[in-house]
Structure 1
Amino acid sequence: MSQRYRITREFRENSGKDAQPQTITLEECKQYFAFKPDFSYTSIYTVTGQTTMSVEGDFFMWSLEEAKIPFRYFQGDIYVLGTNEAVIPMMLEVASELGADVAEG
């Protein structure tokens, strides 16, 4: 069973003149991931197996070898499943560069 993680600024204090907002914005994500060569943006994520399911939203797809791992932006946070051991270091990198933390959830 995989663990779901959330990249969030919920636990950060918002003080001082250079304080970042408490939430991560979609525009901020688009700008950030645009400079990550292994990531691409899509507004529909499709999972194919015995059945096919498409989910609308804001997804930053990480290409890792032959796998596509979705980092989903939703209401000021980024969600990702820890189904691949490489996800954890990438999540920590993204969180650090966005001034955020990683939480379970």
Structure 2
Amino acid sequence: MSFIRSVKSLAPLMDRVLVQRIKPESKTASGIFLPESTLKDESAGNVLAVGPGALDRDGKRIPMGVAAGDKVLVPQFGGSPIKIGDEEYTLYRDSEILAKINE
């Protein structure tokens, strides 16, 4: 999407959550580099931005389950991928987020 210049200019709507997946480590703790074929897609990500929440039947906002800055567990597939420059992000619905990781 060449019209989006920065991820900071992207504001999710309704119950959408903007997540950047955490890239898997390509080196072990002892310093051994792993081949790309052995690296799996990481299912954890960092929440960069959240929408205001969906509306219920009465027009009241349903609070979001996560906030910007949270670390979350996301499904392996799904969401709407977005590429800005060389970076990849994904938009999920709040209900698609599997878990919040408390550290």
Same-fold status (TM-score > 0.5): no
Q: TM-score, normalised by structure 2?
A: 0.25
TM-score by length of 1: 0.25
Q: Please say which structure displays the higher CA radius of gyration.
A: 2
Which structure has the higher relative contact order (CA within 8 Å, separation 6+)? 1
Determine which structure has the larger strand proportion and give its number.
1
